[in-house]
Structure 1
């Protein structure tokens, strides 16, 4: 094992302009964890919702969040530097008085007065920061809460994961990710909400990529709280749905279907998706499922879908694509792949060719691939002999 070293050189080497630029950029990347933690703190403190109607001074935000005024002010200035907030000299855009001057102080560690915001200073949301509001379309709030409460500790173990081949999540929590969700209803709710808001970035494109028109039956395999299935049923009134997932996922799915008035058009089936699936449907869906598993498990799951399908049925796989934009660095695919590495043993993002290869090995023929702007790919496959039969990417 190669150990890192910090042995100093014999003399300080001064960088040229390009080396200095790269050295500063590298430090920015290294300290990026603090930026993430600041945004997660913004989410946990409810700052975006507190600022939804009008700008507020730091002292009032601290009172609402139950936070130390001076330290919250420093966090607010950092969030402004990151583009999530904007510091103003007055109540621009305000609908009324805040009821606070914004100049309240607190005592620091040495007992001296510490200013909680500059006199007359208010903070307001930017369009970027508004993405953390509870009611924002495709809100990032549940994702920030999921990261803060469950995912970040697994990320902290990335070096050890690379060395040992074991994901960080079980090491941090003593159980695997899905067992943790099953034992913690509050965390399960945050996870489901994060999945739902992520779906908002993909649903229209998925509906454009795949033909769901007509009196079809769709089986959503591992469909969670039915966010995807309700979107499909709402868009296509003739469609009928079947959701297959573990028992603990079905209660929130039933609530969602009842709340949307779509319960009569959907059957909920408790089960492991490695067990036999409801046969004879027209479409089988796997949205962000394969990237949780290693290749052997993916082949088993795909063959299980294949066994349930008739010759005219179609399988639809939605997953993030690795290597989709090599020229642009494929940053999103790389980040999501590290995410999978931290949570699941064998889980990873795959290239278009790797997913297509798994489909062919599991007995699927024609594969059509549509790349989505949000970084995912939609794979549409039919039962076949496992050999490609046309239908390239579009």
Structure 2
């Protein structure tokens, strides 16, 4: 590694570290539902403060932060209105940005900050941060669960996979579980399948070299922190599938880096 490459990496990391400013502003805005009200014709800080039970002076300062992010603009009459980019933050937007801010920053940030817990115990850090496993926490927190489900729905809206009456699909499911749980899921699927029926398993698989697919490495770390699951290599996935009594017929990698594994009951 030469000096130019080292400096490039350092600059990138500095930008990533300093990105907490805008991330925190974005999370605060959507969790307080500020874009929802700004989308109704704009608001002065005084109007907005009255509606949200906030203080107008710090709220004006906060809104100017949104202006620097080009999510809203300040009009001459003192009102703040959303820009076209800011409209992505309202509930009925087709964009997943609002839900992503609520889920990633509200549910994932704290566990990721405590990755040391995973390294020391081998257990996910989500339960330590929130007092219970992620599935139980979402069951107990309806609004947060709804944000998560909406986020998934919007993120997967464009995905298309092989279909048909005799096809079962597991997309991004097995990675959320350890090997024993994942094997049980596959075995339960097999029990519901007739001979010849298909089970499509769609996951991002671990690369042989980390730099070949950094997104897969980050996914694996995410599962370590949140659910206790993991991303698997192609051979690990095929072994798991075989142990569940299923046969791999074909594997194809999609343009977005996922692998679609077509299996049959044997």
Fold-level match, TM-score > 0.5? yes
Q: Is 1:307 aligned to 2:259, yes or no?
A: no
Residue 158 of structure 1: aligned partner:
115
TM-score w.r.t. the length of structure 1 is: 0.57
Instruction: Give the distance between the partners of 2:50 and 2:189, measured in 1 at CA.
Output: 54
Confirm or deny: 8 A CA contact 2:103 2:147 kept in the other structure: yes
Confirm or deny: 8 A CA contact 1:48 1:125 kept in the other structure: no
Residue 343 of structure 1: aligned partner:
226
Confirm or deny: 8 A CA contact 2:67 2:74 kept in the other structure: no
Runs of 4 or more consecutive aligned structure 1 residues displaced over 6 Å after TM superposition: 324-327
5 Å-filtered alignment, 1:284-363, equals 284-323=168-207, 330-345=213-228, 347-363=229-245
User: Which residue of 80, 83, 103 maps to 1:125?
Assistant: 83
Residue 76 of structure 1: aligned partner:
63
Instruction: Give the distance between the partners of 2:178 and 2:147, measured in 1 at CA.
Output: 25
Bigger Rg over Cα: 1
Report which of the two has the higher share of helix: 2
Query: Aligned-residue CA RMSD in angstroms?
Result: 3.3
Residue 29 of structure 2: aligned partner:
42
Q: CA deviation at 1:177?
A: 1.4
Confirm or deny: 8 A CA contact 1:318 1:377 kept in the other structure: yes
Residue 87 of structure 1: aligned partner:
73
Query: Whose relative contact order is higher, 1 or 2, with alpha carbons under 8 Å and at least 6 apart?
Result: 2
Residue 211 of structure 1: aligned partner:
163
Q: CA deviation at 1:168?
A: 0.9
Q: For 2:260, what is the secondary structure of its paired residue?
A: strand
Closer, same or farther: CA 17–364 of 1 in aligned 2, 3 Å:
closer
User: Which residue of 88, 97, 106 maps to 1:140?
Assistant: 97
Instruction: Give the distance between the partners of 1:171 and 1:313, measured in 2 at CA.
Output: 41
Instruction: Give the distance between the partners of 1:370 and 1:169, measured in 2 at CA.
Output: 31
Closer, same or farther: CA 288–124 of 1 in aligned 2, 3 Å:
same
Q: CA deviation at 1:148?
A: 4.6
Residue 115 of structure 1: aligned partner:
none
Confirm or deny: 8 A CA contact 1:55 1:125 kept in the other structure: no
Q: For 1:381, what is the secondary structure of its paired residue?
A: strand
Q: Is 1:175 aligned to 2:132, yes or no?
A: yes
Residue 30 of structure 1: aligned partner:
17
Closer, same or farther: CA 53–353 of 1 in aligned 2, 3 Å:
farther
Q: CA deviation at 1:20?
A: 4.9
Q: CA deviation at 1:313?
A: 0.4
Q: For 1:285, what is the secondary structure of its paired residue?
A: strand
Q: CA deviation at 1:314?
A: 0.5
Residue 265 of structure 2: aligned partner:
383
Q: CA deviation at 1:297?
A: 2.0
Residues 258-299 of structure 1 show CA distances to partners (whole Å, capped at 9, x for unaligned) of: xxxxxxxxxxxxxxxxxxxxxxxx222223211111123212
Residues 319-346 of structure 1 show CA distances to partners (whole Å, capped at 9, x for unaligned) of: 344449976x74543443332221122x
Q: Is 1:368 aligned to 2:264, yes or no?
A: no
